[in-house]
Amino acid sequence: MTDSVNPASATRRAITLAATLAFGLLALPVVPSRADEVALTETGSTLLYPLFNVWVSEYTKTHPGIHITTSSTGSGAGIDQAISGAVQIGTSDAYMSDAQAKRNPQIINVPMAISALTVNYNLPGLNATPLKLDGPVLAGIYRGKIRTWDDKSIAALNPDVKLPHNDIIPIRRAEASGDTFVFTQYMTFSTQSWEDKEGYGTSIAWPDVPGGLSAEGNLGVLQLSQKTPYSITYLGVSFHNEIAEAGLGTVRLKSYSGEFLLPAPDTVAAAAASLSPRTPADERLTLVNAPGANAYPLVNYEYAIVSTKQATPATAAAIRKFLLWAIAPDETNEKYLEDAHFIALPAHIWVLSHDQIELIK
């Protein structure tokens, strides 16, 4: 891991680079000729998908020569298809593993924003009550060791809640997913027995839990949870509005410092502020279970997974310009992030992402 960037100097550099970028974007022709048209394809993260579609819609309004096709296939597919060259941009809530990075040095992991996961449940009569849970309890549930909602380990965390004696139905992602990566990291970092056996990844060997269910994508998981009483699952925070509309409960998760927290802009920002200074030049870093006060534990970078070696200079230029536009630190982009319940990159992380994007040729 490289030394962290000095935040003060990084902020000054970010402002200078942002001004240069803004001038360059203004200088671009508004209506390119047909020869300038470029088609790009993106696939991957279902968590980032709603925000990415907003970016694409807004960007192509002023850059009609750029055509970007998007699809929501899961972070594992985003990484794999970016590596194979099937798409120009893969999106992922997870960074590439050390083995993947070593085998594919031409592929970069570029944080575009900071996001989070929520842990949600469908507990009739109690969905308006934010239950308290921690990593060991979640590990017990997803192992099938904690089977009922009134189990003593859950009751101990929620002494004032009358819990029902109903079987817990754990729901997980069916496909390789960055959400699974983040969720299983939380259990790994907080529960030694989970670290020793199951570990973390976009896809893991899940224990066989009686009654356990799976679904594809955040939307599939949300819909399954909504129609399955006594279920528990994990979802991307970009589905905040849909979670509320479905009437699901949201867990107060135990943080590294021992607080029970809900995902909110301040708790997500606190987690990012705690760990983002440690981000190396290749930006592969977990933000899960960050130390410090008010730091929500399920926080992650949202990545664009891109090859630095593109088929043509025009394709490379189109990717660079779009990605730089998407992370540009201005009020418009901050509004897009806020609407999706994401937060912007800190200045020194913006600099690292900018420098990585400039490697695309």
For residue 94, what is the domain's CATH number?
Answer: 3.40.190.10
pLDDT for residue 174: 97
Percent of the chain residues past pLDDT 90, beyond the cut: 90
Name the 3-class secondary structure at 215: strand
What region, left, alpha or beta, does residue 131 occupy, with left being phi > 0 and alpha being psi -120 to 50 degrees?
beta
**150 and 251 part of one domain:** yes
34 within domain boundaries: yes
Task: Tell me how far apart the terminal alpha carbons of the chain are, to the nearest angstrom.
Answer: 25
Look up tokens 């968590």; give the residue.
47
Instruction: Using alpha carbons, list the distances in angstroms from residue 118 to 234, 263, 283, 288, 313.
Output: 6, 7, 23, 12, 40
pLDDT for residue 31: 40
Domain boundary residue among 225, 250, 270? Answer: 270
**125 and 227 part of one domain:** yes
d(CA 278, CA 259): 23
pLDDT for residue 36: 76
**205 and 306 part of one domain:** no
Q: What averages of pLDDT result for each successive group of 10 residues across the chain (361 residues)? A: 45 50 42 69 97 96 96 97 98 97 98 97 96 98 98 98 98 97 98 97 97 97 98 96 97 98 96 94 97 97 98 97 96 93 95 98 96
Q: 238 is in which domain, residue-wise?
A: 117-270
Task: Domain count for the chain, please give it.
Answer: 2
**209 and 264 part of one domain:** yes
pLDDT for residue 14: 52
**109 and 138 part of one domain:** no
Least Cα distance to 150 among 213, 208, 230, 228 occurs for: 230
